[in-house]
């Protein structure tokens, strides 16, 4: 799933008192080695440049560089030692700001069981309500999106025989069995 953002980080005017915002240029100075974001050189708007995945990276701290001057200086900028009495176009200035981006989780992963099938044996005198098996599944999502709820799929001949705890995954016997037959009450021992 791809989410796009368009977030302005601009608003800085050039320090050479010209008031010309158009001379300010923006770049991502550091903090994005995976290339998740791009920035518009003129407007300073940040955009996603690739897929974002909360399970891979929960946040990104970008260092955004704003430069002004004619021509603007990029990369490892330095402030020109010129004074404001000189022509405005000869001064080069820069400013770095932090932009913290939190990548929120969406429910984009389904639960996965440890095993695709399990075989268990149940003695016919098994007690009701005692866990016979604990199903276990994981969901890579976090918080409420990663909560796993369990439910038994119906299977011919086993309707009403087993119940599962929807939160813990414990499977228990809900009816007694004798010689493969389901009973509503236990058979007295002779």
CATH number of the structural domain spanning residue 180: 2.60.40.60
The C-alpha atoms of residue 78 and residue 109 are separated, in whole angstroms, by 46
Residue 7 has pLDDT above 70, yes or no: no
The C-alpha atoms of residue 140 and residue 105 are separated, in whole angstroms, by 10
Question: Is there a contact between 80 and 70 (Cβ–Cβ < 8 Å)?
Answer: no
Beta strands in 103-150 (DSSP E): 112-113, 131-134, 137-138
Question: Same domain, yes or no, for 172 and 92?
Answer: no
Kindly report the number of other CB atoms within 10 A of residue 101's CB atom. 19
Domain that holds residue 114: 107-190
**What are the two backbone dihedrals, phi and then psi, of residue 111, each rounded to the nearest 5 degrees?**
-65, 150
Question: Same domain, yes or no, for 117 and 186?
Answer: yes
What's the confidence (pLDDT) of residue 62? 95
pLDDT in tens, 93-137: 888 999 999 999 999 999 999 888 888 888 877 888 899 999 999
Mean pLDDT on 183-188: 50
What's the confidence (pLDDT) of residue 120? 87
Does residue 27 lie within any of the structural domains?
A: yes
Question: Same domain, yes or no, for 113 and 88?
Answer: no
The C-alpha atoms of residue 125 and residue 119 are separated, in whole angstroms, by 18
Residue 168 has pLDDT above 80, yes or no: yes
Question: Same domain, yes or no, for 23 and 41?
Answer: yes
More confident residue, 80 or 42: 42
What's the confidence (pLDDT) of residue 24? 87
Confidence of residue 162 (pLDDT cuts 50, 70, 90): confident
What's the confidence (pLDDT) of residue 151? 93
| HSE toward the beta carbon, residue 166, CA cutoff 13 A | 3
Question: Same domain, yes or no, for 187 and 161?
Answer: yes
Domain count, the chain: 2
What's the confidence (pLDDT) of residue 55? 94
Does residue 1 lie within any of the structural domains?
A: no
Question: Same domain, yes or no, for 122 and 160?
Answer: yes
């Amino acid at each position: 799933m791809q989410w796009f953002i368009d977030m302005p980080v601009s608003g800085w005017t050039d320090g050479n008192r010209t008031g010309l915002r158009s001379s300010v240029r923006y770049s991502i100075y550091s903090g994005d080695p995976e290339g998740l974001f791009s920035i518009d050189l003129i407007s300073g708007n940040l955009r996603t440049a690739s897929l974002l995945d909360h399970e891979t990276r929960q946040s990104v701290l970008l260092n955004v560089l704003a430069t002004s001057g004619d021509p603007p200086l990029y990369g490892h900028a330095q402030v020109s030692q010129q004074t404001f009495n000189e022509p405005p176009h000869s001064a080069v200035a820069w400013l770095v700001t932090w932009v913290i981006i939190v990548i929120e989780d969406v429910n984009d992963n389904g639960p996965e069981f440890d095993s695709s099938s399990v075989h268990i044996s149940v003695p016919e005198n098994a007690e009701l309500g005692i866990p016979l098996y604990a199903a276990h599944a994981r969901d890579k999502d976090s918080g409420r999106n990663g909560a796993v709820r369990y439910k038994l799929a119906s299977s011919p001949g086993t309707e009403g025989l087993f119940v599962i705890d929807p939160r813990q995954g414990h499977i228990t016997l809900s009816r007694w069995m004798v010689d493969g037959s389901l009973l509503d009450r236990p058979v007295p021992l002779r």
